[in-house]
Amino acid sequence: MSCLLLLLPTAAYRAKDFLDAAAALGAEVVVASERRQAFARVMGDRALRVNLRRPEAAAQAIVALAERTRLDAVVAVDDQGVLVAALAAERLGLAHNPSEAVAAARDKAAMRRAFAAAGLPQPEYRIAGPRADVALLAAEVGSPCVVKPVSLSASRGVIRADGPPAAAAAAARIREILREAGEDPGGPLLVECYLPGVEVAVEGLLRGGALEVLAVFDKPDPLEGPYFEETIYVTPSRLPAETLESITRLTAGAASALGLVEGPIHAELRIDGTRAWLLELAARSIGGLCSRSLRFGLGVSLEELILRHALGLGLDGLAREEAASGVMMLPIPRAGVLEEVRGQDEALAVPGVTGLEISIARGRPVRPLPEGDRYLGFLFARGETPDEVEEAVRTAHGRLEIVIGEPSDE
Ligand SMILES: Nc1ncnc2c1ncn2[C@@H]1O[C@H](COP(=O)(O)OP(=O)(O)OP(=O)(O)O)[C@@H](O)[C@H]1O
Ligand SMILES: [Mg+2]
């Protein structure tokens, strides 16, 4: 029986999907997470406590564990664990990404530098240190621009600014968000020119440096800011074949510019007319519960595909299914306390809708972007065409009533 170590941040949405995938493969699992008790109940002794903010020490703890228990793979379920996974796998002689590559993919400033060195098309950018004149940098990249932290994800702290004074105000707001996230509020920010056009997300798998595109998602709702709340993802993309070819080429170029060679990647690009531009590429798979919209071969999940690759098992016959599918990340209408989501049965009754998961408990606070750091929920649909899928999630969303109460004065 093979044994794999899963790096699970405590707040991971996908713990269950990865554990189910390991069970489907008959693999034994050791869970490494920040709070041992979080998984000790289900995992017993096969739980290891690590501090993901101290990657060297965390990797060392995994190596020490491997002296007692054979490990065939070390897999991070999301961004927070990818550096630890790379360091540990390197020391254990397992297939891995170079740790510098993973570190660059986690730092949007380092990523911009790597893309620039490789001559890849991306927005004009400046990096703002703690005392930088952000208004001046915004004037240099042109208006409108986007100001963002180099380290957060899920569009948290990403703000469009229509001019230098607005950019300076956005930077101050982002520094507050960084402080609240436990990051350095004086850390670097990225100021970059706003790329118009439509946006796609690419889900891919690197094997020995070669990129296999698993799915390209259209994001049919406009993402024009000032905050970038993602909603609908639909695959396959409806863009023309030539555009999709340049999207694949650019994504492969981005992975290689960073030096990534193994495992899942998630890239975002903008297409202005026929020209594709890179927003970013992460060394992880799609976030939230969005992967549940993907099925490979005869019903294999993305998590199982990732684990199969990590364990060196075959991936033959595991192309994405023929059907169109999609997911809608439910928009958060306003800040407050989630009282209730009404109309769930009615939403689920819409033809093509296959699932609905509300991921915030009743009575818990909700906050929209740019401060928000949690998904409200996910609606899933399948159909013969992407248009059908898009229509299904829109209709179902229209039947939901999200009741938000007044925020408490905590
Ligand atoms: N230069 C830009 N021009 C236009 N839109 C942008 C730009 N930068 C960011 N955005 C928008 O903001 C969204 C989030 O930005 P970005 O991907 O850089 O941050 P993120 O927090 O890593 O997001 P995620 O974790 O959702 O991938 C992008 O998907 C895009 O819609
Ligand atoms: Mg992004």
The number of the ligand 1 atom at minimal distance from the alpha carbon of 194 is 3
- Which percentage of the chain shows pLDDT scores above 90? 88
Residue type, 272: D
Residue type, 214: L
**Residue whose CB lies within 8 A of the most ligand 1 atoms, among 190, 280, 369, 371, for a mutation test:** 280
Q: How confident is the model at residue 36 (pLDDT cuts 50, 70, 90)?
A: low
**pLDDT (tens digit, 9 = 90+) per residue, 215-262?**
999 999 999 999 999 999 999 999 999 999 999 999 999 999 999 999
Q: Measuring CA to CA, how many Å separate 39 from each of 31, 32, 45, 204? A: 7, 9, 10, 29
To the nearest 10°, report the CA torsion of 284, 286, 292, 293. -140
Residue minimizing CA distance to atom 22 of ligand 1 = 153
Task: Report the distance separating Cα 268 and Cα 155, nearest Å.
Answer: 12
Ligand 1 pocket check for 79: Cβ under 6 Å: no
Q: Give residue 281 CA to ligand 2 midpoint distance, Å.
A: 7
Q: Mean pLDDT over all residues of the chain?
A: 94
**pLDDT (tens digit, 9 = 90+) per residue, 252-305?**
999 999 999 999 999 999 999 989 999 999 999 999 999 999 999 989 999 999
Q: Measuring CA to CA, how many Å separate 107 from each of 25, 229, 393? A: 33, 21, 33
pLDDT at site 34: 86
Residue type, 256: S
- Smallest CA-to-CA distance from 233 within 252, 247, 215 is with 215
Do 168 and 134 meet the contact criterion of CB atoms below 8 Å apart?
yes
**pLDDT (tens digit, 9 = 90+) per residue, 227-239?**
999 999 999 999 9
- The answer to whether residue 40 scores a pLDDT higher than 60 is no
Q: Give residue 106 CA to ligand 1 midpoint distance, Å.
A: 14
Tokens of 241: 């074949």
Do 62 and 32 meet the contact criterion of CB atoms below 8 Å apart?
yes
Ligand 1 pocket check for 151: Cβ under 6 Å: no
pLDDT at site 45: 60
**pLDDT (tens digit, 9 = 90+) per residue, 364-379?**
999 999 999 899 999 9
DSSP β-bridge partners for residue 198: 271
Do 347 and 401 meet the contact criterion of CB atoms below 8 Å apart?
no
Ligand 1 pocket check for 112: Cβ under 6 Å: no
Q: List strand residue ranges (DSSP E) for 194-262, in order.
A: 198-207, 210-218, 232-235
The number of the ligand 1 atom at minimal distance from the alpha carbon of 192 is 1
DSSP β-bridge partners for residue 211: 206
- The answer to whether residue 39 scores a pLDDT higher than 70 is no
Domains of the chain: 3-103 (3.40.50.20), 124-193 (3.30.1490.20), 324-410 (3.30.470.20)
How much is the pTM? 0.95
Ligand 1 pocket check for 17: Cβ under 6 Å: no
Q: Give residue 228 CA to ligand 1 midpoint distance, Å.
A: 7
**Residue whose CB lies within 8 A of the most ligand 1 atoms, among 156, 231, 279, 285, for a mutation test:** 279
Q: Give residue 158 CA to ligand 2 midpoint distance, Å.
A: 9
Question: Among the listed ranges 25-34, 183-192, 193-202, 401-410, which one has the minimum average pLDDT value?
Answer: 401-410
pLDDT at site 37: 60
pLDDT at site 153: 86
Q: How confident is the model at residue 154 (pLDDT cuts 50, 70, 90)?
A: confident
**H-helix or E-strand containing 280?**
strand 275-282
- The answer to whether residue 29 scores a pLDDT higher than 70 is yes
| Gap between the terminal Cα atoms of the chain | 49
Residue type, 321: E
Tokens of 203: 């889900």
- Smallest CA-to-CA distance from 330 within 241, 182, 230 is with 230
Ligand 1 pocket check for 390: Cβ under 6 Å: no
- Smallest CA-to-CA distance from 343 within 387, 377, 390, 389 is with 377
Q: Give residue 406 CA to ligand 2 midpoint distance, Å.
A: 30
**Sign of dihedral through CA atoms 131, 133, 134, 137?**
negative
Residue 336 backbone zone (phi > 0: left; psi -120 to 50: alpha; other: beta): left
Do 84 and 62 meet the contact criterion of CB atoms below 8 Å apart?
yes
To the nearest 10°, report the CA torsion of 340, 345, 347, 350. 180
Phi, psi of 86 (to 5 degrees): -65, -45
Tokens of 218: 């259209």
Q: Give residue 221 CA to ligand 1 midpoint distance, Å.
A: 14
